[in-house]
């Protein structure tokens, strides 16, 4: 029954278990994202957080990831990828439980700084989780099926996110502040736990995958000797390969993507004066069109390739912040959300596969560690630069500027990525 729902009739049965658990993993992550993660910055804004403080919530995690990404990659190399990812997810997601009692323990500013500190400590296990999950996905899903699995993960994520976002908005409108947010954080923590449970059942297909080889075997496979000093352990040789262009392309994408994140909650609450129900509805509409776009993703990816889809999608993502800068009413926000979901469905389905296609199968953790550094450098830089630029030129002007940068990033991926 489930195999028919997820279009597995033409897929060998030995892959069904992995694929189904990957779908349920992302569905429960959608519950987490549509509740706790979706409303975290809104909660901080309602507590009185500044743009800098909202940026710091993301920046703390990025700082830790920057320092730990390379060691995390080396740690993943020496362990069974599935088990390493599972336990990393457990220790990381315990942190979501700690969001719930914050209103009982601190005043408004105390809660803001507690969230910043918690995200800092949650980032320690998040680093190997981020590095390891992409490696696990590559080991658990044959390359010829990755577009299909990515598309179905987008669909299940969108359904879960959309539903949870509607429910969360309703709860927040009908339950007094801050109790409503505590309920939302509780829903998110439950979704996080269930997501980790399904990760446990995702297994590498090969009996001896690259991530489970011993260090000497890995070095033999790569034709190198074991690193004997700090410089060699950094794996700077990755930057001498064609993967360098992929890293630079993804740097441009993530940097321009995350620049807007600290701006959105400030603009939505202070300029558009949206309430929690409006925001929940808008994000649900966004993921509704992401859901629709995901149904066509596999065909588009097979026709154009993941690189072109990523480039076109990133360029298209300029539409959302550009139009938002001119919005004045709630229906404008809803219409823009509908448009934004289509372009995100392209990027979200393509960019990881675009990257994985260009990583040697015997050396995934080290390449993914450098990607993690690029990702978190982008989060850190954007979290600090976004609010600074907005303070200087205004929220609307910042959105227009960042939209132009997204367009340039998409064109850059098409030309040089």
CA distance 401 to 324: 12
Tokens of 274: 């949206």
Which of 296, 287, 260, 271 is closest to 387 using CA atoms?
Answer: 260
Tokens for 127? 């680093």
Residue 319 in contact with residue 286, Cβ under 8 Å?
no
Does some domain include residue 1? no
Least Cα distance to 200 among 75, 87, 93 occurs for: 87
Three state DSSP letters for 102-162: HHHHCCHHHHHHHHHHHHHHHHHHHHHHHHHHHHHHHHHCCHHHHHHHHHHHHHHHHHHHH
Could you tell me if residue 9 is inside a domain? no
In a domain, 160, yes or no: yes
| CA distance readout (Å), 364 to 209, 213, 359 | 10, 12, 6
Residues in the chain: 417
Location of structure tokens 């729902």: 5
What is the pTM for the complete model shown? Answer: 0.73
Is 176 within a domain? yes
| Cα of 365 vs its chain's centroid, Å | 18
Unique residue bearing structure tokens 């939209």:
403
Closest by Cα among 14, 291, 333, 344 to 159: 291
Say how far apart CA 411 and CA 28 lie, in whole Å. 34
Q: Which residues of the chain have pLDDT under 50?
A: 2, 207-228, 230
Q: What is the pLDDT of residue 183?
A: 96
Q: What is the pLDDT of residues 392-416, one digit of tens each?
A: 999 999 999 999 999 999 999 999 9
Tell me whether residue 230 is in a domain.
Answer: no
CATH of the domain at 357: 1.20.1250.20
In a domain, 233, yes or no: no
**pLDDT tens-place string over residues 215-256:** 333 333 334 444 445 455 567 788 888 899 999 999 999 999
Which has the closest alpha carbon to 239: 221, 228, 229, 251?
251
Among all chains, which residue has been given the structure tokens 């029954």? 1
Q: Which domain holds residue 148?
A: 14-215+241-416
Crossing angle (nearest 10°) for helices 38-46 and 179-200: 160
pLDDT tens track for 189-212 = 999 999 999 999 998 876 444 443
For residue 99, CA distances in Å to 36, 94, 272 come to 9, 10, 27
Cβ count within 10 A of residue 114: 16
Distances (CA, A) of 212 to 17, 81, 132, 364: 20, 7, 12, 11
Q: Rounded CA gap, 309 and 325, in Å?
A: 26
Which phi and psi (to 5°) does residue 327 adopt? -80, 145
CA distance 333 to 326: 10
**pLDDT of the residue at 22:** 94
Please count the structural domains in the chain. Answer: 1
The mean predicted confidence, pLDDT, of the chain is: 86
Instruction: Note whether residue 21 is domain-resident.
Output: yes
Query: Residue 227 and residue 214: Cα distance in Å, rounded?
Result: 14
CA dihedral 358→148→130→249, nearest 10 degrees, is: 40
> Judging by beta carbons within 10 Å of its beta carbon (0-12, 13-18, 19+), is residue 12 exposed, middle or buried?
exposed
Q: Is 30 helix (H, G, I), strand (E, B) or coil?
A: helix
DSSP classification of residue 35: I
Cα distance between residue 17 and residue 171, in whole Å: 35
């Amino acid at each position: 029954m489930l195999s028919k729902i997820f279009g597995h009739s033409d897929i060998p049965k030995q892959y069904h278990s992995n694929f189904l658990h990957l779908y349920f993993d992302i569905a429960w992550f959608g519950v987490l994202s549509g509740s706790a993660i979706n409303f975290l910055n809104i909660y901080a804004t309602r507590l009185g957080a500044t743009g800098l403080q909202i940026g710091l919530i993301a920046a703390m995690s990025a700082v830790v990831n920057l320092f730990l990404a390379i060691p995390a990659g080396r740690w993943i190399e020496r362990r069974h990828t599935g088990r390493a990812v599972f336990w990393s997810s457990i220790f990381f997601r315990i942190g979501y439980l700690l969001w719930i009692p914050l209103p009982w323990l601190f005043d408004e500013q105390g809660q803001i700084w507690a969230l910043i500190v918690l995200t800092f400590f949650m980032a320690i296990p998040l680093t190997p989780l981020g590095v390891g999950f992409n490696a696990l996905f590559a080991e658990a899903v044959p390359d010829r099926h990755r577009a299909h699995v990515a598309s179905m993960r987008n669909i299940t994520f969108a359904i879960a996110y959309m539903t949870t976002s509607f429910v969360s908005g309703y709860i927040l409108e009908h339950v007094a502040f801050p109790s409503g947010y505590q309920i939302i954080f509780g829903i998110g923590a439950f979704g996080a736990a269930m997501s980790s449970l399904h990760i446990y059942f995702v297994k590498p297909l090969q009996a001896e995958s690259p991530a489970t080889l011993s260090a000497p075997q890995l070095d033999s496979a790569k034709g190198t000797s074991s690193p004997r000093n700090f410089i060699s352990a950094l794996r700077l040789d990755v930057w001498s390969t064609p993967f360098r262009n992929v890293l630079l392309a993804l740097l441009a994408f993530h940097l321009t993507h995350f620049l807007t994140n600290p701006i959105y909650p400030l603009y939505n609450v202070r300029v558009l004066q949206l309430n929690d129900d409006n925001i929940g509805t808008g994000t649900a509409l966004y993921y509704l069109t992401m859901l629709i776009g995901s149904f066509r993703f596999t065909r588009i990816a097979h026709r154009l390739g993941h690189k072109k889809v990523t480039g076109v999608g990133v360029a298209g993502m300029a539409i959302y912040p550009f139009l938002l800068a001119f919005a004045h009413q709630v229906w404008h926000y809803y219409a823009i959300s509908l448009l934004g979901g289509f372009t995100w469905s392209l990027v979200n389905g393509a960019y990881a596969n675009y990257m994985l296609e260009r990583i040697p199968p015997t050396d995934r953790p080290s390449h993914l560690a450098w990607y993690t550094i690029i990702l978190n450098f982008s989060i850190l830089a954007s979290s600090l630069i976004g609010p600074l630029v907005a303070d200087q030129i205004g929220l609307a002007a910042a959105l227009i500027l960042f939209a132009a940068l997204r367009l340039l990033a998409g064109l850059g991926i098409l030309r040089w990525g």
